C-alpha cells in the first residue's frame, strides 16, 4: 500500500516467487493407497514416487495435504525446498522480533505470515 509504514507491528502476508516461476522447490505428488510418499532426512526415494507428479492443484497449508479428484496428494519438497524451509525457521531464531505464524513452501513460491 502506497505510503504505509511497514515498520509497524502487525501481521503481514508475504509471497516470494522463484525467478521465472521455475518449479525448483519440489512438486505435488499423489499418495498411494497403501503407502505414503517417503521423505526421510531430506532424501527423497525417487523410485517410490516416479510418475506421481500432479500439477495445477492448490495446497492446504495446515496439513500440506490436498485432494485432486478425490485422490490425496502431498507437497514433496526437494533439497532446495528443504533449504528454503530451514531458512524460514532460521529467520525466527536469528531475529527475535520476527514471528513466523505460518508458512508453506510451494514448488515455485513461498507464502509466509
Cα–Cα distance for residue pair 65/58, rounded to 1 Å: 9
Cα–Cα distance for residue pair 50/71, rounded to 1 Å: 17
Higher-scoring residue by pLDDT: 23, 48:
23
The three state secondary structure string of 51-67 is CCECCCCCCCCCCCEEE
pLDDT, average across residues 24-37: 69
- Would you tell me how many other CB atoms lie within 10 Å of the CB of residue 96? 7
pTM tops 0.75: no
Q: What is the pLDDT of residue 32?
A: 60
> Among candidates 57, 89, 61, which has minimal Cα distance to 70?
57
Q: What is the pLDDT of residue 82?
A: 96
Any residues with CB less than 8 A from the CB of 8 and at least 6 apart, and which?
none
Amino acid at each position: 500500500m502506497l505510503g504505509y509504514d511497514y515498520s509497524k507491528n502487525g501481521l503481514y502476508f508475504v509471497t516470494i516467487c522463484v525467478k521465472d516461476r521455475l518449479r525448483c522447490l519440489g512438486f505435488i505428488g499423489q499418495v498411494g493407497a497403501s503407502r505414503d510418499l517417503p521423505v526421510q532426512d531430506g532424501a527423497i526415494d525417487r523410485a517410490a514416487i516416479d510418475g506421481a507428479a500432479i500439477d495445477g492443484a492448490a495446497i492446504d497449508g495446515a496439513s500440506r495435504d490436498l485432494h485432486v479428484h478425490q485422490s490425496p496428494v502431498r507437497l514433496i519438497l526437494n533439497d532446495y525446498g528443504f533449504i528454503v524451509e530451514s531458512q524460514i525457521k532460521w529467520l525466527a531464531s536469528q531475529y527475535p522480533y520476527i514471528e513466523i505464524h505460518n508458512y508453506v513452501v510451494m514448488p515455485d513460491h513461498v507464502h509466509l505470515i
